[in-house]
Amino acid sequence: MLSGISLLFWPTAIAQLDWTPLWIGSIFSGLLSFLGHTLNNVGIRMIGASTASIIGSSSPALTALVAWITISETLNVIQRWGLMLSHSGSRYLVEKAL
């Protein structure tokens, strides 16, 4: 929202931008962020804070895995071992908590 407001104070040559896509994108991004935070809070209430934090701690490993699958990001051997170790540890802790 602040980035959209800051464009109001930009020089006049750039002020001739089409503002409609900017505002639509800002509102869409805000709604998705709100939905994500709401679903996160509902999930924490459903499964408990400790289990949710264990699952949330696997987020960096899942991000690396999705990047490897979708954009062919290269992962070296140590990173692959780290992914497996992170996944195994998270899975063990979640099963132990349930």
Q: How far apart are the first and last CA of the chain?
A: 40
pTM of this structure? 0.55
Helical axes 59-70 vs 77-97, angle rounded to 10°: 130
Give the distance, in angstroms, between the CA of residue 61 and the centroid of all CA atoms in the same chain: 12
List, for residues 1-13, the tens digit of each pLDDT value. Answer: 676 676 677 665 6
List, for residues 6-38, the tens digit of each pLDDT value. Answer: 667 766 565 576 778 888 988 999 999 999 999
Provide, rounded to the nearest whole percent, the portion of the chain with pLDDT above 70. 83
Give the count of beta carbons closer than 10 Å to the beta carbon of residue 90. Answer: 18
For the chain, the average pLDDT equals 83
- The tokens describing 52, both together, are 């949710």
Q: What pLDDT shows up at residue 42?
A: 95
